[in-house]
Structure 1
Amino acid sequence: MTERDRTPDGRPRNARPRDALGRPLPPGEDGVERVPEDLDLDIEETVSEGQRLLDHGYPFHAHEVFEAMWRKAPPEERPLWQGLAQLAVGMTHLLRGNPKGAASLLRQGKARIRHYEDVPPYRLDIDGLSAWADHLLTQIDRGDPTDAPPIPILRMP
């Protein structure tokens, strides 16, 4: 029996290469660079890296960056980072051709970030991100999801 690759805390690791949307590729194929499991960015770096990944067509990877912050954020901020991760993975599902999964995640992500609309932390454009999610949800509900959804802008101008 082959030993599974595991993290120091015992969680299984999936070392298979992945495509730009995070889908596993057959062993031995070239994939895109993955987000390190031990990613440790500060908030400014997290937002900047998340935006860079979204801008370059890697929403799955942006989701992983936000998820890393979600795991270490103080309890009062975890819904924010979870919501951002859900918005990014919702976009991932849309690009993968799964509009039903995309809609579910976009709705969940939007609901989580809306709790921060009165005082948006870190100059995050909560209203703009909500409008972006609404736009995609409208397209999905009409049965006309786009192959190239608009890229969300995380920060207020």
Structure 2
Amino acid sequence: MAGEAPDKPPEDLPDLALKGIEEFNRGEFYECHEYLEEAWMQEPRRVRFLYQGILQVGVGFYHLQNGNWRGATGLLRNGTVRLREFEPETLGIDVARLVRESERCLRELEELGRERIEEFDRAGVPKVEWTE
């Protein structure tokens, strides 16, 4: 259907990166970190920093789940900066959308502040989407 993101990743995405993204999309950010860290360490090309950016955003959301405002905001900020060089898409990943949605979450967390982190609407945590 036009306008919908495909639900299948490209075939050239390494298995470790794919598993990390699957865990990210399930909200299993600790497991996401484990897979993407390994993919990042094994990848010799510059695309390794794409994996690192997704990893950092995921760890930011892990910190959010644990009520760690400083960790959440710091890693969301670092991760989105890292991801920007890969916009609008790389390896079939809609990087621009992930950056935009992660920055929205960061702004909301900054507005709420550390004392109100529990008020963050976790339904707004983004997923990694595929491009066509």
Q: What TM-score does the superposition give when structure 2 sets the normalisation length?
A: 0.75
Instruction: Please identify, of 77-86 and 89-98, the stretch whose mean Cα deviation from structure 2 is larger.
Output: 77-86
Deviations 1:8-45 (A, max 9, x none): xxxxxxxxxxxxxxxxxxxxxxxxxxxxxxxxxx8342
- Three-state SS of the structure 1 residue aligned to 2:47 is helix
Partner of 2:8: none
- Deviation, structure 1 residue 46: 3.2
Partner of 2:75: 105
Partner of 2:91: 122
Percent identity, aligned pairs only, is 28
The one-letter amino acid of 1:71's match is: M
Question: What's the RMSD between the two structures over aligned residues?
Answer: 2.0
The 5 A counterparts of 1:1-157 are 43-117=13-87, 120-143=89-112, 145=117, 146=120, 148=122, 149-156=124-131
Distance 1:134 1:108 in 2: 11
Deviations 1:51-106 (A, max 9, x none): 32123331111111111110011242222111111011011001110111111101
Distance 2:49 2:21 in 1: 19
- Three-state SS of the structure 1 residue aligned to 2:125 is coil
Count residues with an aligned counterpart.
115
- Three-state SS of the structure 1 residue aligned to 2:91 is helix
Distance 2:21 2:42 in 1: 19
- Structure with max Cα Rg: 1
Q: Do 1:87 and 1:106's aligned partners in 2 also have CA atoms closer than 8 Å?
A: yes
The structure showing larger relative contact order (alpha-carbon pairs under 8 Å, at least 6 residues apart) is: 2
Distance 1:124 1:141 in 2: 27
Q: What TM-score does the superposition give when structure 1 sets the normalisation length?
A: 0.65
